[in-house]
Amino acid sequence: MTLIYQIKEELELHLIDQFRISPEKSKIKLYNLPEWIAFKKSIGSETYAPGCYTVRDNTSHILNSPDYIQTLFHEHFGHGFHLEHSRTGRHLTNLEQEAHKAKTTANPRTPKALKRFRATDPSTLLIAAEKTKYLTECEGFSIWMQYYLSNITRRQEEYIRTFRKSPEVMRNAANRCIEYQHSYGKHALLYSLGFPKHYNKEIMEDLLRKLYPSNNIKFALLYGSRKPHSDIDMFIVSDNIPSTHNNWLDISSVNTTLFEELVSKLDISVTDPLFSGELILGDEKYLEQTKKKITNTPITPEQIAHHKQHAEKAKQLAMQTTNPKEHQTAMRYNKSYTANAEELSKGRKALTLKKLISTYPNHFN
């Protein structure tokens, strides 16, 4: 049985190499059949399955069966990885811990008392409802992980055999993950599920080429905080690519005509990515020429008025929206344009949001 630990160690290193994260707290525990039957009885489970994951102790419990490597892929690298690192997984883990605390405090001593506790305790009812809500995401990702790791380790036949045993709804969820991976890449799949985003120029270039295969991009810049749990911010100059905003990727796209106009106005929404961002793909010569043009452009009253007008528009938008995220975004624009108008009126070019924040911290508090 040392093989399973060897595979576990090798694949954890693979995940770190690919995504810079792997299951960290999760452990594995192996069982022979009599031990497995006793364990399943102890946790009150009546369903047959060759494995399960318990959140309270971060353990993948695995029956020594012919497909135990597939169970390792599913439980440890699927559920364990997902529960430790994804947005949904962290949410479920926190709820599970609260429910476990409530059970420990209540300390039901008989099966009847335990049943009554599970039927009435709010935290236990909540985690049960949330598990049901996110069941297809959790199981779909775990089956996808079987698919992904089986391809790496050349265990495709094992994967197909176990895949056919899964309920249809779970197979469909896994196939959606597989299709997403084929369309946008494995990193995009994890990012879409709320995993930490550790990326570099090569990963983002591959993503852009998959998103926009025709490559009608003048240039694309990666900018923003680049924190693992923040959205990925990109700025694109293109005449036929629209802006895109979802739960993990924010692409701000402007056409060439508007871009040139905003450059002439020293617009902070353009100068910030230009002077703080990293070129992912496109015309580097055009980018450098534009930055030089901005540096040499004299400050005018029209530029100051432009920023004041956009600050007021952003404030009005913030007051009109009932969406908290939209309100926050609009107020961030309001503060940025207000601060840049003040900076330009003093005859200075901040060019980046970071510079504005350091110069006018009270504006952004």
Tens of pLDDT along 278-327? 999 999 999 999 999 999 999 999 999 999 999 999 999 999 999 998 99
Q: Is residue 20 part of a domain?
A: yes
Same domain, 42 and 166: yes
Do 31 and 151 belong together in one domain? yes
CA distance 307 to 46: 65
- Asked whether residue 302 is domain-assigned, the answer is yes
Domain endpoint, select from 159, 192, 225 = 192
Mean pLDDT over residues 357-361, rounded?
A: 94
Do 83 and 56 meet the contact criterion of CB atoms below 8 Å apart? no
Say if 289 falls within a structural domain: no
Question: For 205-238, how does the pLDDT look when each residue is reduced to its tens digit (9 = 90+)?
Answer: 999 999 998 878 999 999 999 999 999 999 999 9
Do the domain assignments include residue 211?
A: no
Residue from 135, 169, 145 nearest 26 by CA:
145
Are 173 and 305 in the same domain?
Answer: no
In a domain, 234, yes or no: no
Share the mean pLDDT of the chain. Answer: 95
Instruction: Kindly state whether residues 158 and 16 are assigned to the same domain.
Output: yes
The parent domain of residue 50 ranges over 2-192
| Most distant CA atoms of the chain, gap in Å | 82
Q: Are 166 and 135 in contact (CB under 8 A)?
A: no
Backbone phi, then psi, for 233, in 5-degree steps?
A: -105, 130
pTM for this predicted structure: 0.91
Rounded to whole angstroms, how far apart are CA atoms 338 and 308? 6
Residue 159, pLDDT above cutoff 90: yes
Residue-wise pLDDT for 85-142, tens only, equals: 999 999 999 999 999 999 999 999 888 898 899 899 999 999 999 999 999 999 999 9
Is 60 in the same domain as 183?
A: yes
Distance, in Å, from the CA atom of 361 to the CA atom of 365, rounded to the nearest integer, reads 6
In sequence order, which ranges of the chain are alpha helices (DSSP H)? 2-19, 33-42, 68-74, 81-85, 87-106, 111-120, 122-133, 135-153, 156-163, 168-184, 186-192, 201-211, 256-264, 268-276, 284-296, 301-320, 324-345, 353-359, 361-364
Q: Indicate if 181 and 328 belong to the same structural domain.
A: no
Specify if 91 maps to a domain.
Answer: yes
First to last CA, the chain: 57
Domain closes at, from 142, 157, 192: 192
Average pLDDT over residues 67-74: 97
Average pLDDT over residues 234-263: 95
118 belongs to a structural domain: yes
Report the domain count for the chain. 2
- Looking at residue 1, its pLDDT comes to 56
Please identify, among 192, 225, 255, the residue that sits at the C-terminal boundary of a domain. Answer: 192
Angstrom distance (rounded) from CA 122 to CA 309? 50
pLDDT at 272 over 60: yes
pLDDT tens per residue, range 142-152: 999 999 999 99
74 inside domain: yes
13-57 pLDDT per residue, tens = 999 999 999 999 999 999 999 999 999 988 877 777 899 999 989
